[in-house]
Amino acid sequence: MVKCKYCGEQAYVWVSRAGGPLCRKHLIQLVEKGVEKTVRKFRMLEGVKKLGVAVSGGKDSVALLHIIHRLYGDRVRLLGITVDLGIEGLRKQFEIAVDNYRELGVPYRLVDLGVEYGFTMDQVARLSRRLRRPVCSICGVVKRYIINKVAYEEGLDAVATGHNLDDMWEFALRTLSSGRIEEFARLSLVSPRGPRMIPRIKPLGLTEEWLIEEYAKARDLRFFDGSCPYKPRNDLREALRYAASTIDEAAPGYLKICVKGFLEAAERIRPPEVKLRFCERCGMPTTRRICSFCSIREKILSLLAEENSIK
Ligand code: AMP
Ligand code: FES
Ligand code: ZN
Ligand code: ZN
């Protein structure tokens, strides 16, 4: 029997960068201590009394909710935020998010995209060619907008998301390799506050994805294990994530060093913040007259109306 290097209990997982085999208890401790360190170092919770936790129901955000609840639940008021995107194949995922809030007794807001905004991501997927934009990119706009709007309406001081180390790496490489330096410069663990713009924090941003999955399993957390039906196949993202896991196996800890370097580089080239104004339709912050959510929503609703009139 392989034993945990700290306590001699049966080992559960091998973590090279922690020096070898760990039992469940010590794996859980390693991950939680790592998150605590990231939160402290990047001052993520300074002055935060009410924190939103955006939970999709996937492993990262479910683990995030449980970690935040365990580490800070007695000091910070939590509010879960889940957006039901209206994707038939993901219905279970959003239910699981709610099950987790209930299990912990965390209050939450579940926003149903179809009911509150009149369209679903299943409809967007059907219309995506006519919208001339990939489904995932529209979905990103929708999620960011709704999460920020709920956070603003609820008077939250910040919102935590479950982005992990591999997500950070992938974003950095994808933007750099295509020369999109301005986008790369947005890489950060804490996004800036602005008028009606609530900062987003990424407490898992320096924790490896596989380790988060092991954590979720070690704690028997309930999470959704499937993936979105609209995720493009064979895309660059998958290749970069595969590279990340290979690097982490070959040189444990190096992925984290890379991402820390990227974060510093991004910080150095970050341009001064642009002045925001308020969207003429919805009043939320934007650089344009009408925010990107309202413009895309108008297009979607008009295409849906057109479809209905033809029927
Ligand atoms: P993704 O963009 O799908 O990789 O998700 C990144 C993070 O955004 C997740 O870890 C969650 O914190 C948050 N998130 C994604 N989808 C949702 C959703 N439907 N509702 C609430 N939060 C979400
Ligand atoms: Fe948004 Fe798949 S989760 S398109
Ligand atoms: Zn142990
Ligand atoms: Zn708007």
Residue of the CA atom closest to atom 2 of ligand 2:
228
Choosing among 3.30.70.580, 3.30.9.100, 3.30.200.20, 3.40.50.620, the CATH entry for 35-275 is: 3.40.50.620
62 CA → ligand 1 middle, Å? 10
pLDDT class of 102 with cuts at 50, 70, 90:
very high
User: Between vectors from CA 247 to CA 243 and to CA 250, what angle results, nearest 5°?
Assistant: 140
Asked whether 266 and 188 are in contact (CB, 8 A), the reply is: yes
Global pTM reads: 0.96
Report the C-alpha gap between 208 and 182 in whole angstroms.
25
Atom of ligand 1 at shortest range from CA of 167: 4
Atom of ligand 2 at shortest range from CA of 136: 4
pLDDT class of 311 with cuts at 50, 70, 90:
low
Atom of ligand 1 at shortest range from CA of 161: 12
pLDDT in tens, 150-187: 999 999 999 999 999 999 999 999 999 989 999 999 99
Asked whether 296 and 285 are in contact (CB, 8 A), the reply is: no
Q: Which residue has the higher pLDDT, 307 or 215?
A: 215
Report percent pLDDT > 70 for the chain.
99
Helix axes 236-250, 209-218, angle to 10 degrees: 80
Residue of 51, 55, 207 best suited for mutating to test ligand 1, as the one with most atoms within 8 Å of CB? 55
3-state helix, strand, coil in the chain (%, to 5): 55, 10, 35
27 CA → ligand 3 middle, Å? 8
Q: Is residue 55 lining ligand 1, measured as CB closer than 6 Å? A: yes
